């Protein structure tokens, strides 16, 4: 039976001790504390802690940070196991004496998971190679334990053992971060059990455990209140490795998250994939936005705001007889209207076709009212009213427009005209770009990207737009000059 002469409360930084006068209470913690359990003397739990005599020895290697923690359970285990010693690692200005870890008569086992670790069992005691068995337990957080196992030379080559997996704590004084992570006192008791002394372990672990835990919690609550931190009423303070959980009762609005970023090689792979797939994807996007029917015969509707080359296609279609009638659509001209005799795009477009020599009787302008949003839809509604006034909607019409706008125009015209009228598109590339090179011009990038978002918006909101009503009186549309 050996006990170290070390007294944790003599350590600088120990609970309640003055940094310059070991053992003397600091100004912050005026009330004297127990030297073992670290609680105020009136809350001391040491008298109710069991004492367990065992034939094998325990060596607690305690991280210096733990000496200052009232939540530490290594001291309690050291107190409960008379055949134990406690060595402190990392105390400033002191060199620890590691000779207890290198005694020739002892067969050591380090309770720590390494790759070669096996399960601690009664055979470790019965089949020991030397007269004594000494079980070394690291007392600290998991991070501190890993640090000590690596830095303390005698521990590096020591045979390692571990407890059975999935153990649950019967002594909830200090909780692990994950199931199976036990506090030092609990780990010591489970090791006693694994070494074939189950009765002794039960005596230390479960007998009076509830009373003991309660007493320790109450004592800690008193320390916190004394230190200016009010203990929450009716709540048991349970500590975790790494110190008390700050702000546990607060509502959390942010959390830490691990983020994966590409490496240099990753960026290279992304660039290569973009170079390989970028062009087909760009061409595919443009073709998606610009569906174009091969049958361009029948009634033609020309969106008024399109450029002159598109309008020329309408003239050609009428001239070669594919198309019998043209309607031009569009809302008010928003810039320079007072300089022109035309107030809207529908009328401008009609005038353009007449200038190219089309018969005025074949071309009808259908101006749309000013609209803050869904301007294409407003044009389509105006067209529906006009067609009804002219004798009813056709079964099919061809919508002539610029390419990236075609899919959105088709969607909105089909909605306004209703299911009885099929809308086909005739999509003409804008003057400056096409499917295979739009990403090379700033205008192309701007138009294609904005049309992509605009189409997605139209697709999502089209069901909220009501089709033109048949009962609605047709708009009175003045014929352009």
Comparison of 44 and 310: residue with beta carbon closer to Zn ion: 44
Q: What is the C-alpha to C-alpha distance for residues 362 and 315, in angstroms, rounded to an integer? A: 11
Comparison of 46 and 371: residue with beta carbon closer to Zn ion: 46
Comparison of 34 and 80: residue with beta carbon closer to Zn ion: 34
Stretch that binds Zn ion, among 28-36, 180-188, 391-399, 426-434 (CB under 5 A): 28-36
Q: What is the C-alpha to C-alpha distance for residues 303 and 461, in angstroms, rounded to an integer? A: 22
Comparison of 44 and 380: residue with beta carbon closer to Zn ion: 44
Other residues' Cβ atoms within 10 Å of the Cβ of residue 302: 30
Stretch that binds Zn ion, among 36-44, 110-118, 365-373, 465-473 (CB under 5 A): 36-44
CB of 75 to Zn ion, least distance (A): 9
Listed residue (239, 195, 198, 249) closest to 217, CA to CA:
239
What is the chain's alpha carbon radius of gyration, rounded to the nearest angstrom? 43
CB of 76 to Zn ion, least distance (A): 9
Stretch that binds Zn ion, among 26-34, 59-67, 227-235, 285-293 (CB under 5 A): 26-34
Q: What is the C-alpha to C-alpha distance for residues 131 and 133, in angstroms, rounded to an integer? A: 7
36 binds Zn ion (CB under 5 A): yes
Comparison of 128 and 212: residue with beta carbon closer to Zn ion: 212
CB of 222 to Zn ion, least distance (A): 13
Stretch that binds Zn ion, among 21-29, 41-49, 308-316, 368-376 (CB under 5 A): 41-49
CB of 200 to Zn ion, least distance (A): 21
CB of 36 to Zn ion, least distance (A): 4
CB of 111 to Zn ion, least distance (A): 25
Stretch that binds Zn ion, among 27-35, 162-170, 219-227, 361-369 (CB under 5 A): 27-35
Comparison of 46 and 362: residue with beta carbon closer to Zn ion: 46
Comparison of 224 and 322: residue with beta carbon closer to Zn ion: 224
CB of 66 to Zn ion, least distance (A): 16
Q: What is the C-alpha to C-alpha distance for residues 411 and 408, in angstroms, rounded to an integer? A: 5
Rule CB under 5 A: choose which of 9, 14, 37, 399 binds Zn ion: 37
The residue of the chain with the least Cβ separation from Zn ion equals 34
Give residues 43-102 in contact with Zn ion (rule: CB under 5 A): 44, 46
CB of 38 to Zn ion, least distance (A): 7
CB of 71 to Zn ion, least distance (A): 14
Stretch that binds Zn ion, among 40-48, 87-95, 329-337, 362-370 (CB under 5 A): 40-48
Comparison of 41 and 94: residue with beta carbon closer to Zn ion: 41
Q: What is the C-alpha to C-alpha distance for residues 41 and 29, in angstroms, rounded to an integer? A: 12
Please give the size of the binding site for Zn ion, defined by CB under 5 A: 5
CB of 72 to Zn ion, least distance (A): 12
Stretch that binds Zn ion, among 38-46, 235-243, 334-342, 419-427 (CB under 5 A): 38-46
Rule CB under 5 A: choose which of 34, 80, 86, 189 binds Zn ion: 34
Comparison of 44 and 448: residue with beta carbon closer to Zn ion: 44
3-state SS, the chain, equals CCCCCCCHHHCCCCCCCCCCCCCCCCCCCCCCECCCCCCEHHHCCHHHCCCCCCCCEEEEEEEHHHHCCCCCCHHHHHHHCCCEEEEEECCCCCCCCCHHHCCCCEEEEEECCCCCCEECCCHHHHCCCCCEEEEEEEECCHHHHHHHHHHCHHHHCCCEEECCCCCCCCCCCECCCCCCCCCHHHHHHHHHHHCCCHHHHHHHHCCCHHHHHHHHHHHHHHHHHHCCCCCCCCCCCCEECCECCCCCCCCCCCCCCCCCCCCHHHHHHHHHHHHHHHHHHHHHHHHHHCCCCCCCCEEEEEECCCCHHHHHHHHHHHHCCCEEEEEEEECECCCCHHHCCCCEHHHHHHHHHHHCCCCHHHEEEEECCCCCCCHHHHHHHHHHHHHHHCCCCCCEEEEEEEHHHHHHHHHHHHHHHCCCCEEEEEEECCCCCCCCCHHHCHHHHHHHHHHHHHHHHHHHHHHHCCCCCCCCCCCCCCCCC
Q: What is the C-alpha to C-alpha distance for residues 60 and 110, in angstroms, rounded to an integer? A: 10
The DSSP bridge partners found for residue 398 are 300, 424
CB of 9 to Zn ion, least distance (A): 10
Comparison of 36 and 417: residue with beta carbon closer to Zn ion: 36
318 binds Zn ion (CB under 5 A): no
216 binds Zn ion (CB under 5 A): no
Stretch that binds Zn ion, among 35-43, 282-290, 350-358, 364-372 (CB under 5 A): 35-43
CB of 10 to Zn ion, least distance (A): 15
Binding site for Zn ion (CB under 5 A): 34, 36-37, 44, 46
């Amino acid at each position: 039976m050996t006990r170290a002469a070390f007294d944790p409360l003599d350590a600088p930084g120990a609970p309640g001790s003055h940094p310059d006068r070991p053992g003397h209470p600091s100004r912050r913690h005026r009330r004297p504390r127990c030297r073992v359990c670290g609680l105020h003397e009136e809350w001391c739990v040491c008298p109710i802690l069991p004492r367990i005599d065992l034939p094998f020895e325990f060596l607690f290697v305690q991280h210096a940070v733990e000496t200052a923690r009232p939540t530490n359970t290594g001291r309690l285990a050291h107190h409960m196991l008379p055949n134990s010693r406690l060595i402190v690692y990392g105390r400033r200005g002191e060199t620890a004496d590691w000779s207890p870890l290198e005694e020739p008569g002892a067969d050591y086992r380090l309770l720590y998971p390494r790759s070669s670790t096996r399960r601690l069992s009664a055979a470790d005691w019965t089949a020991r190679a030397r007269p004594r068995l000494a079980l070394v337990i690291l007392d600290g957080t998991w991070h501190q334990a890993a640090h000590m196992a690596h830095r303390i030379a005698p521990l590096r080559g020591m045979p390692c053992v571990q407890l059975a997996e999935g153990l649950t704590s019967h002594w909830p004084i200090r909780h692990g971060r994950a199931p199976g992570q036990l506090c030092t006192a609990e780990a010591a008791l489970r090791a006693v059990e694994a070494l074939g002394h189950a009765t002794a372990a039960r005596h230390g672990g479960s007998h009076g455990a509830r009373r003991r835990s309660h007493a320790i919690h109450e004592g800690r609550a008193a320390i916190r209140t004394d230190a200016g931190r009010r203990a929450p009423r009716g709540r048991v303070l349970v500590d975790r490795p790494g110190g008390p959980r700050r702000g546990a009762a607060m509502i959390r609005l942010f959390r830490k998250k691990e983020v994966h970023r590409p490496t240099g090689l990753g960026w290279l792979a992304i660039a290569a994939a973009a170079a390989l797939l970028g062009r087909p994807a760009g061409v595919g996007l443009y073709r998606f936005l610009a569906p174009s029917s091969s049958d361009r015969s029948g009634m033609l509707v020309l969106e008024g705001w399109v450029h002159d080359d598109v309008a020329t296609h309408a003239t050609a279609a009428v001239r070669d007889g594919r198309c019998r009638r043209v309607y031009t659509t569009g809302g008010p001209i928003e810039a320079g209207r007072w300089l022109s005799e035309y107030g809207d795009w529908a009328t401008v477009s009609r005038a353009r076709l007449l200038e190219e020599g089309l018969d005025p009787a074949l071309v009808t302008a259908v101006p749309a009212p000013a609209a803050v949003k869904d301007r294409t839809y407003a044009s389509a509604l105006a067209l529906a009213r006009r067609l009804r006034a002219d004798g009813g909607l056709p079964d099919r019409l061809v919508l002539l427009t610029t390419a990236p706008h075609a899919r959105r125009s088709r969607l909105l015209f089909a909605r306004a005209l209703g299911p009885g009228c099929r809308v086909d598109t005739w999509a003409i590339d804008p003057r400056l770009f096409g499917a295979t090179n739009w990403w090379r011009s700033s205008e192309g990038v701007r138009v294609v990207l904005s049309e992509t978002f605009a189409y997605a918006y139209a697709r999502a909101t089209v069901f909220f737009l009501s089709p033109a009503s048949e009962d609605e009186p047709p708009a009175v549309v003045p014929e352009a000059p």
